[in-house]
Amino acid sequence: MLGRRRLSLNSGEAVGVRVVTDTSVIERARENSRQPPAGGYQRVGKRVFDVVFSSCFLLAVGSWLFPIIALAIRVETRGPLIFRQKRVGLGGEIFECFKFRTMRYEPAAAFMQASPLDARVTRVGGFLRRHNLDEMPQFVNVLRGEMSVVGPRPHVPELDDYFQERIPGYGGRIAVMPGITGLAQIRGYRGETRTLRQMMQRVRLDVFYVQRCSFTLDLYAVITTMWRSVRGDSNAY
């Protein structure tokens, strides 16, 4: 069955979308997704890169940075340290995506994209978002085989259900595993998508990545993301 929910695409506009209570999104996404090129890197190399990079990152950085971030979140606000949210993954499969919690704890709140000067974002959360640190727990998703280091960002089912019917080729973005970072994000299409045109540009870059996925492109995305994490990302809020 499908219900109705208000989905905010920007801070001043809300549109109605269908809330997924059956498998409609998964079925349509599977029908519309295109298989990526069957190259050696896509079949084997990408998974090896994901596991090696994620393991090294968690051991070298996560082992000391995770406790610091956890303490900062706990001191500022009540609630869980990790935010868990249903996202659409490879082939339309739904999985639980992990993030450090960056907003006030409101378990009954409906989904709404973060916007500039969003009152829900905490001070610690704003810092984590600007420096991409809130996404770090997703390296666990990578090791679990639910995500990749690089790939199209996973959307919540509500967004996929809304845009699937409005953007041609939208389903092509789920032909590979979703990523912690992606080509669209390093090109400036990160965070809130205020307009249909912005989402179309994001999808265009996502599909381009699916078709051209390579070790060189993944390495470029990782290095660019690391640089932006140090500098701070103006599109992250």
Residue 141 in any domain: the answer is: yes
DSSP state of 92: G
In a domain, 236, yes or no: no
Q: Is residue 159 part of a domain?
A: yes
pLDDT value of position 152: 96
Q: Which of 58-72 are b and which e, b meaning 16 or more Cβ less than 10 Å from the residue's Cβ?
A: beeebeeebeebeeb
What values do phi and psi take at 68, rounded to 5? Answer: -65, -45
Kindly state the tokens that stand for 83. Answer: 């935010």
Structural domain contains residue 45: yes
In a domain, 51, yes or no: yes
Residue 12 lies in a domain: yes
Contact 139, 57 (CB under 8 A): yes
Q: Is residue 225 part of a domain?
A: yes
Tally of domains within the chain? 1
CA 198 vs. chain centroid, Å, equals 16
pLDDT in tens, the chain (237 residues): 434 444 544 433 333 344 343 444 445 545 544 455 556 788 889 999 999 999 999 999 999 999 999 999 999 988 999 999 999 999 999 999 999 999 888 776 766 776 666 788 899 999 999 899 999 999 999 999 999 999 999 999 988 888 988 999 999 999 999 999 999 999 988 777 778 888 999 999 999 999 999 999 999 999 999 998 888 776 665
Q: Dihedral of CA 22/28/30/36: which sign?
A: negative
Q: If residue 7 lies in a helix (H) or strand (E), which one and from where to where?
A: strand 2-10
Domain with 118 in it: 2-231
Amino acid sitting at position 120: R
With respect to residue 134, please indicate whether it lies within any of the assigned structural domains: yes
